[in-house]
Structure 1
Amino acid sequence: MSFEFVAGNLALDFVATVAERRTTAVERIPTPSDLAQWLADAGVVDAPPAVGAESYARAIALRELIWALLTTDDSRPLPADAVEALNAGAAGPAPTAALSPDRSVATTADLDACLTAIARAAVDVFRPANRVRLTWCEGTDCTRAFLDASRAHNRRWCGMAGCGDRAKAAAYRARRRARASR
């Protein structure tokens, strides 16, 4: 399975492993081995870590916790128990990068350290500098959040390869129909 990393933040990409949450809710990491591969593909570690059923369930619980925090109405405070759980997750050990004499660098971690990296990235989303850049994709069924790093801060879609292409194609078809009806 191939994964997309277009959010500009590890935690936002992790939350996006469930696509179209409000309609089809497509699970992109349905098994522990898919989660392990996602962690390697995301660059958290160089090789997929061991993931068992219990640790997979903890990872999914973290993902859903982050989703709940992201979707909390901005006019309300974040739930204290959810904030406490995220902060506890962010306080764990982090992946370890080690330099070798041949100048190569290897990053290793167990699943707990990988989840710590994701929790820390989630906390980072709420920093004021990132919170103002947090944007939701305008794709019809998309439920993906991303950090808008565009110069004009006007990015509309999570990625051009999917949502952006579909939106532009739909706009083109609408213009053609409008011209044809004149």
Structure 2
Amino acid sequence: MNLDHVFVCGHPALDFAATLRARRTARFEMFVTPERLNAWYLDCGLVDTITPGNEQDVVEARAVREAVYRLVTDRRLGEPFDRQALAVLNGAARKAPVTPQLTLTGRHNEATPGQALATVARKAVDLLSGPDVPLMKECGNPECTRVYIDRSRGMRRQWCGMDSCGNKIKAAAYRARKKAPSAASA
């Protein structure tokens, strides 16, 4: 699997939770180094510059990510929030977030990995307590565990993204349909 960050979930907290891919099968970890974690913060647009991180930043980010995923799953399934996950998320959200600065060239967000993580945690709190909760769906690809915001007409979207999962499923279904008639005639 490639290490490109994918932002198809419609919310930064959901994209953050999706950095552990294929949770039910292969479990592919995106946050393997402090540099990969910082790259995610930069690529998602949360910060413009970020100070170098360390292994502890990765450990904390993974813990918050897993808490976010658990709480999103609880909310999506209509279950009570897991208390330990709540404590982890709220603890991270209490810390100092990214603070935007106005410069001669415009807005600039410079942060530490801890500030970036606090900002993600706050975004997760907003999501889980806001109006988009009923729009959260899990991808229809059985190998994918991304949760996304479905803003499609009639809420009929089935996949986290066409490029990442939709095309794979549609192509597999097409191949299966093409194969079926030849197998039936044999």
Q: TM-score, normalised by structure 2?
A: 0.88
**What is the Cα deviation at residue 171 of structure 1?**
1.6
Q: Which residue of 1 aligns with 2:155?
A: 153
State the partner residue of 2:59. Answer: 57
Aligned residues: 181
Q: 1:124 Cα deviation (Å)?
A: 2.3
Aligned to 1:98, the other structure's residue is in SS state: strand
Which residue, 71, 79, 83 being the options, matches 1:80? Answer: 83
What is the CA–CA distance in structure 1 between the aligned matches of 2:29 and 2:176, rounded to whole Å?
A: 32
Which one-letter code corresponds to 1:149 in the other structure? Answer: R
Find the aligned partners of 2:96 and 2:175 in 1 and give their Cα distance: 51
Unaligned 5+ segments in structure 2 are none
**Aligned 8 A contact 2:31 2:62 in 1:** no
Corresponding residue for 2:23? 21
Provide the residue aligned with 2:48 in structure 1.
Answer: 46
Offset, 1:160: 0.8
Return the alpha-carbon distance in structure 2 between the equivalents of residues 153 and 75 of structure 1: 18
Question: What amino acid is the match of 1:148?
Answer: D
Q: Which residue of 1 aligns with 2:99?
A: 96
Distance 2:159 2:79 in 1: 26
Q: 11-20 or 93-102, which moves further after superposition? A: 93-102
CA distance in 2, matches of 1:171, 1:135: 21
Q: Is the 8 A contact 1:133 1:147 kept in 2?
A: yes
Give 1:36's aligned residue. Answer: 38
> Contact 1:124–1:130 (CA<8 Å) still a contact in 2?
no
Q: Which residue of 1 aligns with 2:12?
A: 10
Of the structure 1 ranges 19-28 and 90-99, higher mean CA displacement relative to structure 2 is found in 90-99
CA distance in 2, matches of 1:179, 1:140: 25
Contact 1:7–1:13 (Cα < 8 Å) also in 2: yes
Between the aligned partners of 1:50 and 1:34, the Cα distance in structure 2 is: 11
- Determine the C-alpha separation between the residues in 1 that align with 2:104 and 2:47: 20
Equivalent in 170, 182, 185 of residue 168 of structure 1: 170
Shift in Å, 1:54: 1.5
- Secondary structure of 2:131's partner? helix
In the alignment, the residues of structure 1 paired with residue 134 and residue 74 of structure 2 have an alpha-carbon distance, to the nearest angstrom, of 15
Q: Which moved more, 1:67-76 or 1:148-157?
A: 67-76
Looking at structure 2, the residues matched to 120 and 150 of structure 1 have their Cα atoms a distance apart, in angstroms, of: 26
Q: Which runs of 5+ in 1 are unaligned?
A: none
Q: CA RMSD for the aligned pairs? A: 1.8
Provide the secondary structure at the position in 1 that maps to 2:159. Answer: coil
